């Protein structure tokens, strides 16, 4: 909740993770485990996000802030590599 000594109001009120993917969110489908992706999202993003664990190990992830989707896609190989080592 406290990043760079600034409180994120969405995190305080537990409003960062939304239950549905609004039309203005940028969404993508990735093959990864939920726990490391969810941890990464909470630690490295500031905006709202949507995540859905569908059948087959695929995750549908939506980002309200479009630049955070780009940031996530750049770090996804590292998240998957760390997942293979730690889990």
- Domain range summary for the chain, segments of one domain joined by +: 17-86
pLDDT of 66 reads 94
Strand pairing class (17-18; 49-53): parallel
Q: Which residues of the chain have pLDDT under 70?
A: 1-15, 84-87
Backbone angles phi, psi at 30, to 5 degrees: -130, 160
Measured between alpha carbons, how far is 50 from 55 in angstroms, rounded to an integer? 16
pTM of the model: 0.78
Nearest 10 degrees: Cα torsion 52, 79, 25, 57: -30
């Amino acid at each position: 909740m406290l990043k760079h000594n600034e409180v994120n109001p969405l995190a305080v009120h537990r409003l960062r993770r939304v239950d549905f993917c609004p039309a203005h969110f940028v969404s993508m489908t990735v093959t990864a485990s939920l726990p490391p992706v969810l941890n990464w999202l909470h630690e490295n993003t500031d905006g709202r996000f949507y995540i859905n664990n569908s059948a087959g190990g695929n995750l549908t992830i939506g980002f309200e802030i479009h630049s955070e989707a780009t940031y996530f896609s750049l770090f996804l190989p590292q998240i998957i590599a760390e997942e293979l080592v730690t889990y």
